[in-house]
Chains A and B, each alone.
Chain A
Amino acid sequence: MPRASLIALLMAAPLAAHAQTSAPVTNGASQVNITLTGDNGGACVIDHPVAKAGPVTFAVTNKTATAITEIELQSNNRILGEKENLAPGLPTVTFTVTLGGGTYQIYCPGAKQETQAFTVTGQAAATPSGSIGTILADGTKGYARYVDDVVAGMVTAVARLKAAIDAGDLTKARNEYPQAHAFYERIESDVDGFVLPGFKATDNAGNLDYLIDMRASNLDPKVGWHGFHAIERDLFQTNQITDGTRQLAAELQKNVDVLDKQVKTLDYKPEDLANGAADLLEEVQSTKISGEEESFSHYDLVDFAGNVEGAQQAFAFLEPGLEKIDLDFTRRIQTQFAMVMKMLDSYRDPKVPGGYKLYTSEIKTADATKLSKAIQALQEPLSKIAEKVATAQ
């Protein structure tokens, strides 16, 4: 489609939108259904392209669209929410975001019309007021302090790692590596959107998460390999500290310092904590269970524990408010967390740096299913928290 007609289309959309009724509101969240079909060369059908300011839950169902596998909610190219791995026949997936008044874009790559306007009427959602809202808001402040503390701890640990590398002490560097990296695993979900000043959100050269934690499997050749795992390769695969390793450590320290400053400026909404916790569990499932995260050092169980701790902390700061919203539900999640923690305890080994056994192929073969099932049992209920806390009054 020529660019001009796309712009015309986007401009036309708000006019058409006035004829539409706002999305219905259930339990305080606007409910928008997006249905993907194979009609007319692939269509992304939004049942209500208009919603009132506040929490909006998007329920995405791929009915027959074989060319569309993902969908994003954007605000001027900033991704606010997205779902991948959509295909006909799979169950409906949902995501909830709190939106202020304005025009957003629903981006469906592969559809005939890839970008559609989504209009939110009214002001930005007011900060939740009343008792539950206040309790949750207090929780987010507590969580912000937790994140600050974790990143401060990482700054110190990375300095120790760098000192060992600078000194050319391979043994000491290998001991420091898992301890420094574990800090990152607790809060990595909060780093996802950080972009260095002057860079586009889509440029990995300015993507803090990329620069700090990218694995060999997802490298951007234009930007190259930086951060923890490039260091891990030197320390555990090539078994050599070179000038390149020192350069990597210096970069890492610089980027962690940037992160330290950034996180101190952050305010969180309650659903940010919930989504962050869910993201950390996804991290466990996608890269720790498989042993992909620490493919050279095999400290995956340290990272696993770090992700779980970060998720558990985010949940803990929501707990007081969440208990008032739905006590039974909160108890169920507490139980699942306890089971995961107990299981993780069985892998503790104080003699190993980081405090957990190495994730050997023997352990993986024997226990991967058990580990992933335990996390799945936690993931399901945990994924429902965001909508509950975002809609709390």
Chain B
Amino acid sequence: MPTDNKFSNVHRRGFLLSAALGGIGAAAPHAATAADNEDSVDLTQQYPFYGNAEQAGIRTPPQRHIFFMTFDLTSTQRRDLQVLLARWSAAIAQLVKGETIGQVEPDRAEASGFDTGEALNLGPASLTVTVGLGPRVFTDTYGLAAQKPALLRELRQLPSDAFRPELTGGDLSLQACADDPQVAYHAIRDLARIAKVTGTAATKWAVLGFGRASAGKGQATPRNLLGFRDGTRNIKEDADFEKFVWLKDAPDWQRNGSYQIARKIQMRIENWDTNRVSHQNDVFGRHKMSGAPLTGTAEFDTPDFQKTKADGTLLIPDTAHIRLAAFENNDGLRILRRSYNYTEGINQYGFLDAGLLFISYQNDPAAFETLQTKLGSADALNEYITHLGSAVFFVPPAPPEGSYLAEGMFATA
């Protein structure tokens, strides 16, 4: 019976770092305060799926783990796409509450379970599942050509591209983030099953990531696998979300949506690790330990891109990552980064196979292109990284209860 499957009486809590000192009270049913979030994990915390603004998993302070997957549509029928988005929406609404999407052990012995069961009693673990729609959704095949978000298109070729076809593209994306990796994995696994059962979509590429590599509001800045803080100057304030992330001047069903760009970026870890630290600092333009810009003493000091050494050379070199990426040097342009570290063990050449699952959100994919064109051409970091895969999606807003993701795009035509 379904009541047996619920976690409601379970309070599985874990604490990391300073949370043990924070004296956090009873588990909050929904998003905790920023102070609570700092370096703590409360596995009973949950974020609602339904809403009247953006989908969860974008502004949401990054959880500890991600399972990201893209899908190719396998059906040419509009109704199949509709049914899939409706079934995904219902299932995600269940999953974020820590509940099953259906029977794990059906009454009929010959039946297979609706829910695969591996997340039973793990709690919601702050799970969010964010759904994206790729450019090929908006074609005549589904009668959706006229609904295409104005700026959605394949990215143009950028200087850093070294894509493998099997790690690139997709018609749908699912970004599941949670503080328990098994909760994130279970969500994607069961949603992929629905895609198969309905005959609508097939899996394309996926990355299982850990150790968030971009800070959200109220979070200490985490580190990427190169050992540097990542996301010190990330978008955190609501005003910046309004300006750079959300679609505002758009049809109803798109408003508060955003464009999602995902890149699988491999790192040459062994080369990096043997590199002298002064060079590593020059590559980023920051000090490794403190995260301070080379022109300052504390992480959040504003970089001084003009400051020179005694010999007249720039303290933050011309090719430093933060100089090329800084909004001051890009006409104020900013994007939200929500990346994760990944590892896939050891590659065929005996190197650690690891890197960054870069994910960004912006209200115009061209913002990413502008920044990446610059970085891809001149960034000192390029010696240590390769962009293996890429995909772009439109992420519609959250549906209100009783509706489903992107229902509005089916209303016309």
User: Which A residues fall within an 8 A CB radius of B?
Assistant: 1, 38, 41-42, 62-67, 69, 85, 87-90, 109-112, 114, 202-204, 220, 222, 285-286, 289-290, 292, 368-369, 372, 376
Contacts and interface: CB of A to CB of B under 8 A. Distances in A.
B198 A69 contact: no
A202 B91 CA distance: 26
Given A85-B198, A289-B76, 16 more contacts: A66-B90, A67-B100, A85-B86, A87-B86, A88-B401, A89-B86, A89-B399, A89-B407, A90-B86, A109-B103, A109-B107, A110-B2, A110-B103, A110-B114, A114-B1, A114-B107
B87 A69 contact: yes
A197 B281 CA distance: 78
A372 B200 CA distance: 14
Interface in B1-36: 1-3
B93 interface: yes
A286 B83 CA distance: 13
A289 B402 CA distance: 31
Contact of B1 (A1, A203, A290): A1
Chain B interface, >50% SS class: loop
Nearest to B405: A89
B94 interface: yes
Given A69-B90, A110-B103, A290-B199, A87 B83 contact: yes
A90 B100 CA distance: 21
Nearest to A369: B76
A286 B199 CA distance: 8
B302 interface: no
Contacts of B343: none
A289 B74 CA distance: 11
Contacts of A65: 90
Interface in B273-326: none
Contacts of A376: 77, 79
Interface of B: 1-3, 74-77, 79, 82-83, 86-87, 89-91, 93-94, 99-103, 106-108, 110-111, 114, 141, 198-199, 399, 401-404, 407
A343 to B, nearest CB: 15
B89 A88 contact: yes
Nearest to A77: B108
Given A90-B404, A376-B77, A222 B110 contact: yes
A86 B106 CA distance: 18
A115 B93 CA distance: 23
Contacts of B103: 109-110
B402 A64 contact: yes
A285 B77 contact: yes
29 contacts: A1-B3, A38-B401, A41-B2, A63-B402, A64-B402, A65-B90, A67-B94, A67-B102, A85-B83, A85-B86, A85-B87, A87-B90, A87-B404, A88-B89, A88-B402, A89-B86, A89-B399, A89-B402, A90-B86, A109-B114, A111-B2, A114-B1, A114-B2, A202-B110, A203-B110, A285-B77, A286-B199, A289-B76, A290-B199
Given A109-B106, A204-B110, A88 B90 contact: yes
A110 B102 contact: yes
A377 B111 CA distance: 34
Contact of A69 (B99, B108, B114): B114
Contacts of A42: 2
A42 B102 CA distance: 11
B95 to A, nearest CB: 9
**Ranked 4 nearest A-B pairs via Cβ:** A87-B86, A89-B404, A66-B93, A66-B90
Contacts of A64: 401-402
Given A63-B402, A222-B110, A87 B89 contact: yes
B90 A369 contact: no
A88 B404 CA distance: 7
A88 B89 CA distance: 8
B2 A112 contact: yes
A331 to B, nearest CB: 25
Contacts of B407: 89
A203 B99 CA distance: 29
B100 to A, nearest CB: 8
Contacts of B91: 66
Given A66-B91, A66-B93, A290-B199, A89 B403 contact: yes
Given A85-B83, A90-B82, A220 B93 contact: no
